[in-house]
Amino acid sequence: MKAIKVIFASVLKASIVIVNYRVPDLLEKCLESIRQHTRDYEILVHDNSPPNPNLGFAKANNILIRKAQGEYIVLLNPDTWVTKGWLDKLIDTAESDPRIGIVQSKTLRPNGLLDSTGHRYTLIENLHFRISPHQKESVRILGLTG
């Protein structure tokens, strides 16, 4: 297992876990956005690209998660670009209610269109809804996407 570990704080709030596969340019942009917009974190990266052994997405994530030392674990794909305050907002949401076990951010495509915000189901109709791309406040969701 080859991992890059970078610690940027004496008190680790979050461990950011990234599994890369053949997108080194996207990974570098992802890491740069994290460096610009994040504090109190460590980054753990596994590169499944040749010549490294391809452990698969799930196994590589699980190995990195076991090595993580942060209070929170954040899984990011290498094609992710984070914005100012992103991690604080996720952590604030997680800490706002002890019943919350996992959080997901609203995900936008590079063109600004909504990509993913999780799945919502009504109890009455059991229908799938997409959250508006202009949604500002947090909402309860049934399942995560990404």
User: Both 63 and 7 in a single domain?
Assistant: yes
Q: Are 145 and 104 in contact (CB under 8 A)?
A: yes
Domain hosting residue 30, numbered range: 3-99
Average pLDDT over every residue of 52-64: 97
Question: Is the same domain home to 61 and 122?
Answer: no
95 and 49 assigned to the same domain? yes
Number of structural domains (the chain) is 2
End of a domain among 76, 99, 122?
Answer: 99
Whether the bond between 98 and the residue before it is cis, its omega within 30 degrees of 0, is no
**pLDDT value, residue 75:** 96
Query: What confidence score (pLDDT) does residue 113 get?
Result: 76
* 143 and 125 part of one domain: yes
Instruction: Of 75, 80, 64, 78, give the one whose Cα is nearest residue 23.
Output: 78
Mean pLDDT over the full length of the chain: 82
Shared domain check, 90 and 44: yes
**Average pLDDT in the 33-50 region?**
95
Residues 12, 79, single domain; the answer is yes
Domain shared by 13 and 51, yes or no:
yes
Residue 19 sits in a domain whose CATH number is: 3.90.550.10
Q: Residue 104: name the closest of 131, 70, 67, 134 by CA.
A: 131
Mean pLDDT of all residues in 75-80: 95
- pLDDT bin (cut points 50, 70, 90) of residue 26 is very high
